[in-house]
Chain A
Amino acid sequence: MSNLLIAPMIIPIMTAIILVFLRDNVRMQRVISLITMGVIILISGFLLVEVKNNGIMRLDFSGWLPPFGILFVGDAFALLLVLVASIVTAACLIYAFSTIGEAHEKMFFYSFVLLLVAGVNGSFLTGDIFNLFVCFEVMLLASYVLVALGGGKRQLRESLKYVLINVVASWMFLVALAYLYGAVGTLNMAHISMRVAEAGQDPVLTTISLVFLIVFSLKAGLLLFFWLPGSYSVPPTSVAALFAALLTKVGMYALIRTFTLMFPNQPDITHTIIGVMAVITLLAGMAGAMGGRDVKTIATYNVIIGVGFIMIGLAIGNEQALMGAVYYLMHDMVAKALLFLCIGMMVYLTGETIVKNMSGLIRNYPLFGWLYFLGLCALVGIPPLSGFIGKVLIGQGAIAGGDYILLIVGFLSSIAVLYSLLRIFLASFFGETIIVMEDEVPIRKGMMGSLVLLAACVIFLGLGANYIMPFVEAAAAVLVDPSIYIDAVMPQGNE
């Protein structure tokens, strides 16, 4: 038992509520929300080290033992993601301080960001699948508000689409839960895993797992991403970056958990389908990214490429590929946040979204230009930056597993990423400057600070691989061998 495990969820909720009372004191809201994120970063870092040394932690709410009670389970995979998500949120908050505007801040913007974080962290940590649904809803309700807040016509239209899609997906999630509970009679994820394994994952259970696949694919943007480019390009930059970094990742986390812990026994069917979906996602994402003409479209299609690539790791499903998936997931959170903040900054500086209409930004803003280039290199996977290790691991996994099609498509996607982002770099940053010195919009310190913070994370994730690898190995070990998770969660001698 460790009550600290609840902190990443309960602290943001309580702070969010306290901020409601400080509605008019914007300065106070900023300070408190940033301190909260700092505290969560520290706590999750501490928990991560603790878990690596002493094994998986669990917290049974009000002492109800599993499988009867609701519980939080902290394993290395969940806590790594909590840590990275909190860092990314802190960076996006810093960016928001100087850009989001008073109107948003007075409409409880920081409260909703904190509630979003609470939902995200809860989804990562929970060990109960119904609780996962609840945490998803906490996250989604906050995201509905954030996507629609301050909307013009286009934003309202896209947010309506976003809300509708997610309501339908949540309904399907409930239906899938009902099927699952009807079939195995439990909601505890470890217990489900045991019962599914006992039943040998018969066709009924596999079908149920496919319903979950559809639900989480809608949330993660795996194949069913038709809603994503629109909804991610309309909100303010800091919100879009937060969404790109966190929301699809929660869906992917749920997919990885579902098909490594609960339904790992029929990889011929489930993992093959995931592989096919990932390949189609990658191809579509590549087409969108290379064909896009405005920066926001290109950035959102890069999110889709990221989703496809990580899901390749899950489809291959051996230890190396899963390690790669975990590593790439962390990298993708940081790098996508960096990319979206950069793109948002370009729009802020020039007032343009079309690539061709921008030029020579690097002359006016050299540091910003090179930070964008750094993000580009990381996303493409150039060593020693963060994307490289994940890509190599997934590649090794694919070769070991003999999945050459996945390998080829996966690495083709890197070229598409390179092409699409380099095109922005060459067209918008190089060339004749269009902004004369007098018209230069100054970059505020906070905006640059958040970019530098994320860039530092990208570099650390790459160069500091030695420090991170043990955690990733611990995370992948649980994914490969669900019995570690089950032993940690289920009381000994039960059943």
Chain B
Amino acid sequence: MKINDVILRTVVKGVVFIILTLGMYLFFAGHNAPGGGFIGGLVLASAVVLLYLAYDIETIQKTMPFDFKKVAAVGVLLATGTALGSVLFDVPFLSHTDGYFDLPLLGETHLTTVTIFEAGVALTVVGVVVTIILSINEEGGE
């Protein structure tokens, strides 16, 4: 089945970057303002799903050759890993820390370990959402 989706594809090419930017913004805005890993991850995943809708699965898998199940697994490992990291410093499990650092180009920057944890959450959300959408799409699965 061949449908004419020039408009969709053209729009998606531009919109995907806006969505990805918004996703990253929400992700970094988290832990101080509304946003965070879960919401950012959902928005990022929606960009990926949009790409799958506009193009076919094979094309996207060629450009993004990830197994999204493994993306989710890496996310969980990252999140639990940072949680467990606090054990090494002999503070209660899940403790996080932050600090201000002078970085070249960025100037004084607020760096937190929560961001790493949130990155894990975001990866998990992206991995799970895309896996769910793909397996609904796949008709019968593997």
A interface vs B, CB < 8 Å?
1, 3, 6, 10, 13-14, 17-18, 20-21, 59-63
Shortest C-beta distance, B95 to chain A (Å), equals 4
Interface majority SS (helix, strand, loop, mixed), chain A? helix
Which residues of chain A are within 8 angstroms of B87 by Cβ–Cβ distance?
A: 3, 6
Chain B residues 61 to 81 lying within 8 A of chain A, measured CB to CB, are 69-70, 73, 76-77, 80-81
Judging by beta carbons under 8 Å apart, are A3 and B80 in contact? no
B interface vs A, CB < 8 Å?
69-70, 73, 76-77, 80-81, 83-84, 86-87, 90-96
Which residues of chain A are within 8 angstroms of B69 by Cβ–Cβ distance?
A: 20
How far is it, in angstroms, between the C-alpha of A18 and the C-alpha of B86 when the chains are bound?
Answer: 20
Across chains A and B, the number of contacting residue pairs, with CB separation under 8 Å, is 43
Which residues of chain A are within 8 angstroms of B95 by Cβ–Cβ distance?
A: 62-63
Judging by beta carbons under 8 Å apart, are B96 and A10 in contact? no
**Other-chain residue from A1, A6, A18, A59 in contact with B77 (beta carbon distance below 8 A):** A18
Which residues of chain B are within 8 angstroms of A17 by Cβ–Cβ distance?
A: 73, 76-77, 80
Judging by beta carbons under 8 Å apart, are B80 and A59 in contact? no
**Other-chain residue from A10, A20, A21, A62 in contact with B92 (beta carbon distance below 8 A):** A62
Judging by beta carbons under 8 Å apart, are A62 and B96 in contact? yes
- Pick 16 A–B contacts, CB within 8 A, sort by A: A3-B90, A3-B92, A6-B93, A10-B83, A10-B93, A14-B80, A14-B81, A17-B77, A17-B80, A20-B70, A21-B70, A62-B86, A62-B92, A62-B94, A62-B95, A63-B92
How far is it, in angstroms, between the C-alpha of A63 and the C-alpha of B93 when the chains are bound?
Answer: 8
Shortest C-beta distance, A43 to chain B (Å), equals 13
How far is it, in angstroms, between the C-alpha of A259 and the C-alpha of B93 when the chains are bound?
Answer: 29
Judging by beta carbons under 8 Å apart, are A14 and B84 in contact? yes
Given the known A-B contacts A3-B87, A17-B77, are A61 and B70 also in contact in the complex, defined by CB atoms under 8 Å?
no
Judging by beta carbons under 8 Å apart, are A10 and B84 in contact? yes
How far is it, in angstroms, between the C-alpha of A3 and the C-alpha of B77 when the chains are bound?
Answer: 18
Judging by beta carbons under 8 Å apart, are A59 and B93 in contact? yes
Shortest C-beta distance, A42 to chain B (Å), equals 17
Q: Which of B69, B86, B92, B96 has the largest number of chain A CB atoms within 10 A?
A: B92
Shortest C-beta distance, A101 to chain B (Å), equals 17
Judging by beta carbons under 8 Å apart, are A62 and B73 in contact? no
Shortest C-beta distance, B68 to chain A (Å), equals 12
Which residues of chain B are within 8 angstroms of A1 by Cβ–Cβ distance?
A: 92
Shortest C-beta distance, A18 to chain B (Å), equals 7
Judging by beta carbons under 8 Å apart, are B83 and A20 in contact? no
Given the known A-B contacts A17-B73, A21-B70, are A60 and B92 also in contact in the complex, defined by CB atoms under 8 Å?
yes
